[in-house]
Structure 1
Amino acid sequence: MMIKVCGMRESDNINALQELDIDFMGIIRYPKSKRFVDDKQKLAIEQLTMNKGTVGVYVNATFQEILQDIIPLQLDVVQLHGDEEPAFAKAILELDFKVFKVFQIKEDFDFDSLKEWEQLAEKFPGKLFFLFDTATKNYGGSGKKFNWQLLDSYKGQVPFLLSGGISSEDAAAIKSIKHELFLGVDLNSQFEDTPGLKNIEMIKGFIEKLRK
C-alpha cells in the first residue's frame, strides 16, 4: 500500500515525517492553498535532505514555474491538480519525471473521459499515475470523501491513488478496496494540527493499521 502525505511545509515536520514508512510527500505550490509553500519556505526546504519521493503539487501552473522548482525542491514527481491537458503532462514526462494527474470525482463522473490520458500513459510505462480526489470548486482540499464505490466504474489501465478526506478511522475500509489498480492513499487535512503541520503520531498509528 503506497502512502503519500501531502501539504508539507515546515522543515522540522518534514524531517519527522521522513522517519516514517511513507513513500511520497507533497509540497503544494498553489498560492490559493492553505498549505501553500511560499518562496521563503521553499528556500528552507531546499536545505533539507529529502529521502522520500518528493511531489510538487501544481494547479494550472506554467511549464516554466514547474521547471524552476524541480532542482531546488528535489522533485521526483509533478502532480497536476488543475485543468492541464495531456500535452502539458507529456512535456513533463519527456523530462523523465513521474506525473500524478488528479481527477475530481463526483457521482456522474465519466471515467471514459480519461481515454486520452490512458493513451499517454501507454507511451510512458510506469511514469503516469492517476489520483482520484473529491470534486470541489477549489481544486481539492475539501477534507471530504467521495463515494468510493464509484471506483468500481473505473475500467482503465492506469494505476491510481485515492485522496479526499481520508482519516485515521478509514484503514479497514481502505484495505477492503479490491480494485486491482488501486496503489494507495494520499493523506492530508485529517492528519493535521493546523494547515501545513502534520500530526506525526497520528500518521504513524494510521500506517501501522494500514500495513498490518
Structure 2
Amino acid sequence: MIIKVCGMREARNIHDVLETGADWIGLDFRPGSERYVSQIPSYSGIIPDSGSLSPFLSNGRCGQTKKYLLCGVFADDMPQNIVMRVVNYGLDIVQLDGVESTVMIDNLRRTLDPDIHAGIRIMKRIAVTCREDMELYKDFADSVDYFLFDLQAGMDDWTLLEAYRGDVPFFLGGVIGTEKTDRLKSFSHPRFYGIDLNEEFETAPAFKDTTRLKAFLDKLR
C-alpha cells in the first residue's frame, strides 16, 4: 500500500513526514487553496519563475536516501503552468482534480514524455458521492496511470468501490484518519494501490502532525 501525504508546503515538515514512512508527497498548485505552493517570481521575461521549495528539494531530495515521489496537484490549469512546475519541482506525478478532457491529458503527456520528464505519471481524481460516480473512470481509463477515488464528506459506503472493474490502479481518498485503520487493513480490491492522506493529520493548513501520522502508519502496516 502506497502512502501519499498531500497538501504539503513546509520543507522541514516534508522531511519529517518522509521519516514516518510516507511514499509520495503531494504539492498543491491550485490557486486559492490553503495549501497552495507558490512560485518565486523572477520579475523577468527571460528567466522563468522558480519553485519556492526548489533549493530544499534539490538538496538530495530533502536529504532522504529513501526513494520517494513528488505529486503535483492541479485543477483546470493551463498546460504550460503544469509543465513549468514539473520542471521547477521535479514532479514525478501530475494529479488532475478538475474537468480536464482526455484530449488535454493526452496532449500533456506527449508534451512531457519523453523530452521533459520521461515516464511521467498522470493521476485523475474522481469525486465519489454515489455509485454512478464510480462509472466516470471509463472516460479516462486509456489516458491515466492512476485514479484517486475521493469519497466525499458523508460518503462512508466503501462497497461503492466494488463497482470499479477497470485495470488502472487506484488510490482511496476522502476522510481518512486514525479511525479508519482497521477498515483499511481489511479492505481488499485487486486494483487498490494506496491511500491519500491530508487534513485529517494537520495541526494547521499544510502542516502535518508527524507523531499522529507515524502512529497511524505503524499500526496500518
1:32 Cα offset (Å): 1.9
Match of 1:120, SS? coil
1:99 Cα offset (Å): 0.7
- Which contiguous aligned blocks of 4+ residues in structure 1 show a shift greater than 4 angstroms? none
* Residue 155 in structure 1 maps to residue 165 in structure 2: yes
| Contact 1:28–1:35 under 8 Å retained in 2 | yes
1:13-70 deviation per Cα after TM superposition (whole angstroms, max 9, x unaligned): 1111122322101000001211111224974410123352000000100100001111
1:118 Cα offset (Å): 1.5
* Identical aligned residues as a percent: 33
Q: Which amino acid aligns with 1:201?
A: T
Aligned to 2:116: none
Higher CA-based Rg: 2
Q: Any gaps of 5 or more consecutive residues in structure 1? A: 122-127, 136-141
1:90 Cα offset (Å): 1.5
Aligned to 1:11: 11
Q: Structure 2: how far apart are the matches of 1:32 and 1:61? A: 13
Q: Structure 1: how far apart are the matches of 2:186 and 2:121? A: 27
Q: Structure 2: how far apart are the matches of 1:150 and 1:56? A: 27
* Residue 80 in structure 1 maps to residue 96 in structure 2: yes
| Contact 2:134–2:160 under 8 Å retained in 1 | no
Q: Which amino acid aligns with 2:125?
A: V
> Counterparts of 1:81-96 in structure 2 under 5 Å?
81-94=97-110, 95=113, 96=119
Q: Any gaps of 5 or more consecutive residues in structure 2? A: 42-49, 62-66, 114-118
Match of 1:61, SS? coil
* Residue 177 in structure 1 maps to residue 187 in structure 2: yes
Count of aligned pairs between the two proteins: 198
| Contact 2:134–2:161 under 8 Å retained in 1 | no
2:132 paired residue among 109, 120, 128: 109
1:150-202 deviation per Cα after TM superposition (whole angstroms, max 9, x unaligned): 10111111110000010012111011111111111000010000010001111
Match of 1:89, SS? helix
| Contact 1:100–1:131 under 8 Å retained in 2 | yes
Q: Structure 2: how far apart are the matches of 1:208 and 1:70? A: 31
Q: Structure 1: how far apart are the matches of 2:124 and 2:205? A: 23
Instruction: Quote the RMSD (CA, aligned, Å).
Output: 1.9
Q: Which amino acid aligns with 1:133?
A: D
1:108 Cα offset (Å): 4.1
2:200 paired residue among 179, 190, 199: 190
